[in-house]
Amino acid sequence: MKPLLVLASLFACTALCPAQEDVYLRQTILDSVPLPTTVNRTYRLLPPANLAAKPNEKFPLVIYLHGGGSRGDDNKKPITEPLPKLLATPELREKFPCFVLVPQCKDGNALDERPNNWTRWENQKAAPSLWLKSDEEISDQLRAAIAALDNVMDKQPIDPARVYLTGVSMGGSGSWSWASRQPERFAAILTVCGLSEVCRAAPISKVPVWTFHGAQDEVVPVQRTRDLVSALQGAGGKVKYTEYPDGGHNIAKQSFTENNYAALVWLFEQRR
């Protein structure tokens, strides 16, 4: 084979070989779905491995809401966070066959008073009295995530009894907000160091929860999670709470992986 043809062949393989392809597929919400221009209509979706070989099977769905550092419109930064990366590894795709939905919160602009967020309440260090009551409307970004979920449920073989909501930091806050508004959609909630409001405990208590926080977190006060856990328990909720005495804000990977992925094993055991 001539040298140029060899190079062309190698280039084609580099671009197209399955080992090089991004396993998270870029998807788009239909234009017919009314959404404001301030949100992303695109999201990422990881299908189960060997999906085509299982035409009659329905799979769990994990929704992952990313943290504040992954805002944007590239659909790439969120899938580099610990949980999406873990669920895309060959080991965990075999261990936990599922779909993984990863929407992206769009960046704001320089004129915004505050950056776009999954929630409209984001005052991390507000006085405790302000944690008790909220009349905030759902954010545009969370509306887009809900539309993405609707899109996936319509198109993919999802088991509606095994839809799981997860999130870290800003995404943990979004998970609490979403679960409080649509608890009937979720079989379980798994959050790490998210903001919470105890006024939302009653609807969230209808869903099994495992939440994590570091006692030394300097970004989101651990008391926010402690108070929500107490409120969920008072409302009769099924709550697991892990607090790391020496942990800061960066505990996500530890939360998901320790004790042989105990949190993920628990998650996939839950059914609605």
Query: Phi and psi dihedrals of 97, rounded to 5?
Result: -65, 120
d(CA 133, CA 139): 17
Q: Return the pLDDT at 6.
A: 35
**pLDDT at residue 98, rounded to an integer:** 98
If DSSP states are collapsed to H, E and C, what string results for 138-204?
Answer: CCHHHHHHHHHHHHHHHHCCEEEEEEEEEEECHHHHHHHHHHHHCHHHCCEEEEECCCCCHHHHHHH
The pair of three-digit structure tokens given for residue 208, joined into one six-digit string: 């099994």
Only one residue has tokens 């905030």, namely 136
Measured between alpha carbons, how far is 177 from 196 in angstroms, rounded to an integer?
8
pLDDT along the chain (272 residues), means of 10: 37 37 89 93 96 93 96 95 97 97 85 71 50 65 97 97 97 95 97 90 97 96 94 97 98 98 98 96
Distance CA 241, CA 228 (A): 10
Please, are residues 174 and 164 in contact by the beta-carbon 8 Å criterion? no
The pLDDT score that the predictor gives to residue 2 is 40
- What is the per-residue pLDDT for 197? 80
The pLDDT assigned to 112 comes to 53
Residue range 217-244, pLDDT digits in tens: 999 999 999 999 999 999 999 999 999 9
pLDDT score of 126? 52
3-state secondary structure of 56: coil
